[in-house]
Amino acid sequence: MSAAFKVVDLFAGAGGFTKGALMAGCEVKWAANHWPQAVSIHAANHPLTAHACQDLHQADWRTVPAHDLLLASPACQGHTPARGKEKPHHDAQRSTAWAVVSSMEYHRPAFGLVENVTNFANWALFPAWCAALHALGYAVSPHLIDSADHGVAQHRLRLFVVLSKSKNPVKLSLEKRPRVAAADIIDFRAGRWSPIERPGRAAATLRRIASGRAGFGDRFVMPYYGNGSGLTGRDIGRPLGTITTRARWGIVDGDHMRMLSRAENIAAMGFPANYILPASDREAQHMLGNAVVPQVACDLITALAKAA
């Protein structure tokens, strides 16, 4: 079923939300981000969409096309525990969510769909943010979604808040897709492998490798930072953990290892192989780690169209 919504995408980044909306049959009229390179990449992939590069707190909403569905991914850095120690600029990052309220106050679209890390719901001002949307006539319905349930090789738990002009919150019915194993996106014949036993290899890395071998044999994946599977490794027969803004996942194959390749990170995020990203692997990784998984966006928008 085609959603056929007219859409705008705030904090559009690399374009995962936009890509998912197009997959669902929507027309994405306008997209914006404050980072020039992100706008350039989004425009390269979505040339039929109008673009703006600006701080959305300063947006003139009169210049934004009318739309049925607002998509938004406000900054998550002020909410996620991965940010480390609380810093003064996190208040400014958290405040980006208010651009959603100001946009919806002006345009009053039928629906909104807001994505963030799960800790967005623990924000001290989240009740006030919801109250502001209630005052505009919107019901607020949070959904916790794991991308591994939507056909990509990655566990990525995110909060999607459905906003609707309805008396009661809309609870979307989402069919789970078969899970994709990490092994399905890893090309063991490709990449730049290095010997595990080499001078300078960190003792902590060697301990993780030994633990992974004990649990999963000669082939497994492991993160280079974080906890959980960072200590034990991870079976390649299950999805990866979350793809982050810096290279995280390593692959062990016998007595050699390497990091997940650019192509493998793209696949784990559910983007097509020919999707345009920055030439720099570091910048490409940053955009991928901040992106919305397109298939998740597609499934949510398709379900929203059915519920409408």
DSSP state of 30: E
- Cβ contacts of residue 244 below 8 Å, gap of 6+? 82, 289
The CA distance from 47 to 56, in Å, is 21
Handedness of CA 155, 243, 172, 166 (dihedral sign): positive
Backbone angles phi, psi at 58, to 5 degrees: -100, 10
Closest CA to 181 of 235, 222, 223, 229: 235
Structure token digits, residue 109: 């679209």
Q: Is 130 designated active site?
A: no
Q: Residues 26, 76, 130, 298: which is the catalytic one?
A: 76
Q: In sequence order, which ranges of the chain are alpha helices (DSSP H)?
A: 16-23, 36-45, 89-94, 98-107, 126-135, 203-216, 229-232, 262-268, 281-290, 294-307
First-last CA distance in the chain:
12
- Cβ contacts of residue 47 below 8 Å, gap of 6+? none
Closest CA to 184 of 303, 308, 295, 268: 268
Active site residues: 76
